[in-house]
């Protein structure tokens, strides 16, 4: 068994989709990014790569490559899992977003991540919090996510 940790932060801008865990959340602002900007999937992908001591998402999917432009972060996560050659045991994560409230979408987000990782929904935890109005996240200018992943080497 090996554990990995990942975190990510994206600027929120008008005219972009807000993607969280492979689900589009209705919002007037979304992540500014080269890919689809899914902050939660990026944190989980980094945790997967971290668990196998295999670099990070920026090294695996450079934003200078045309192939990664607009890329689905679900694809990034599944490619990272495939690369480790390991089985995911469980994922725990937290998203910090001022608005909209994520709670109603959490079951759908967990299902999406579980399906991508090929594990039961009971092995995927997603928690949501706000920044209590403080800092760039509190002003609705950014969204962040943190994740811990346990992998079992085959
Ligand atoms: Mg990112």
pLDDT of the chain, 154 residues: tens digit per residue:
999 999 999 999 999 999 999 999 999 999 999 999 999 999 999 999 999 999 999 999 998 888 888 889 999 999 999 999 999 999 999 999 999 999 999 999 999 999 999 999 999 999 999 999 999 999 999 999 999 999 999 8
Distance between Cα 107 and ligand 1 center (Å): 22
Range of the domain at 52: 2-152
Per-residue pLDDT at 48: 98
Number of structural domains (the chain) is: 1
Domain CATH code at residue 133: 3.30.1330.50
Question: DSSP characters for 111-135?
Answer: HHHHHHHTS-GGGEEEEEE--TT-H
Distance between Cα 46 and ligand 1 center (Å): 9
Distance between Cα 135 and ligand 1 center (Å): 19
Q: What is the pTM of this model?
A: 0.97
Closest CA to 56 of 71, 68, 46: 46
């Amino acid at each position: 068994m090996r554990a990995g940790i990942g975190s990510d932060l994206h600027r929120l801008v008008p005219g972009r989709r807000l993607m969280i865990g492979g689900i589009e959340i209705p919002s007037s602002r979304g992540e500014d990014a080269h890919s689809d900007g899914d902050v939660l999937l990026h944190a989980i992908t980094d945790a997967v790569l971290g668990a196998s001591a295999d670099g990070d998402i920026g090294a695996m999917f450079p934003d200078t490559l045309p192939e990664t432009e607009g890329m689905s972060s679900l694809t990034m996560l599944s490619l990272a899992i495939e690369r480790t050659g390991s089985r995911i045991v469980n994922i725990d994560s937290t998203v910090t977003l001022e608005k909209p409230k994520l709670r109603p979408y959490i079951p759908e987000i967990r299902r999406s991540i579980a399906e991508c990782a090929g594990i039961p929904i009971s092995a995927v935890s997603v928690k949501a919090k706000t920044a209590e109005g403080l800092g760039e996240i509190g002003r609705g200018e950014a969204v962040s996510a943190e994740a811990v992943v346990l992998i079992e080497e085959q």
